[in-house]
Amino acid sequence: MTVKSSIRIIGTFLAAGLMIGLAFAAFGCGNQNTSAGGAGGSKGGAIQVKGSDTMVNLAQMWAEDYMKENPQVNIAVTGGGSGTGITAIINGTTDVADSSREMKQKEKDDAAAKGVEVVENKVALDGIAVVVNSSNGVGELSVDQLADIFSGKITDWQEVGGSPGQIVILSRESNSGTHVFFKEHILNKGKSDGKVEYASSALLLPSSQAIVDEVKQNPKGIGYVGLGYVDDSIKAVKVKKDATSTAVTPTVATVQDGSYPVSRPLYMYSKQGASQTVQDYLAWIKGPEGQKVVEQLEFVPLTK
């Protein structure tokens, strides 16, 4: 066989291999864009979700259930706090920002300055439970007492009917939407421009689960977490609006009927003009199947 003949044969094999490779690539692309069916009927694609630690377990279960019905959609969920998620969507590093608070005006201004139009999607409700160690004898507190405890005016449990001992304040970090909400609605009685701050002695913890874990082992601790984090290993105290009101236990029913004083909506922020994959996912979350997941994790669905 001549050298030229060998080159022609090698060239033929390379061309054939290239054609096969292109065929497989075209087939793969065709599959990626085929409708996955399921509840959302989404096209294939990836969704990045980032933000609220209060919502992270809820967001993860939403993602898992949705991907079972729409296997061509890949959803990645990470926490880090509401502020982290909102910053990420403004900067273009996430598709959806989970937030346990509304966007601040400064965040809206930052988004506008970058030409980003953010869409607010209310996806669930949440009650903020005030939690203590299961051995703590205090069963109820008023909003005023909570404000005085977390701002450092009340420092001993016997001042609110408990056994003598220093109160250990547990708070989320300042980047947390739960931190912001509790500060505004409890410490500052609903004033967004209020000046009351958390006590300097407060231990700032990185997640709601970290607060639960600390309360479990610290008889003097008091903290606040989303309703979905409450279990039998800790005690959620009843809360009353004022000294003469009836104390109310944080439950799904009391958040829905508005009788529990410490509750809020939960949001998922997306961008105007988001992909159809993202829009389908958000529509599914706000629909019957997504709201069933809300109930399963003991958050509060949008409607009764």
Vertex 300 angle, CA 296 and 304, to 5°: 100
Domains and CATH numbers, the chain: 45-125+265-296 (3.40.190.10), 126-263 (3.40.190.10)
The C-alpha atoms of residue 17 and residue 34 are separated, in whole angstroms, by 26
Phi, psi of 285 (to 5 degrees): -60, -40
pLDDT tens for the chain, residues 1 to 304: 443 344 333 344 333 443 333 333 333 333 333 333 333 445 679 999 999 998 999 999 999 999 999 999 999 999 999 999 999 999 999 999 999 999 999 999 999 999 999 999 999 998 999 999 999 999 999 999 999 999 999 999 999 999 999 999 999 999 898 999 999 999 998 887 789 999 999 999 999 999 999 999 999 999 999 888 999 999 999 999 998 999 999 998 899 888 999 998 999 999 999 999 999 999 999 999 999 999 888 788 987 6
DSSP 8-state assignment for residue 286:
H
Under a CB-based contact definition with an 8 Å cutoff, are residues 277 and 45 in contact?
A: yes
Q: Could you tell me the sign of the dihedral formed by the alpha carbons of 158, 163, 169, 172, in that order?
A: negative
Provide the whole-model pTM: 0.68
Which residue shows structure tokens 């939407």?
177
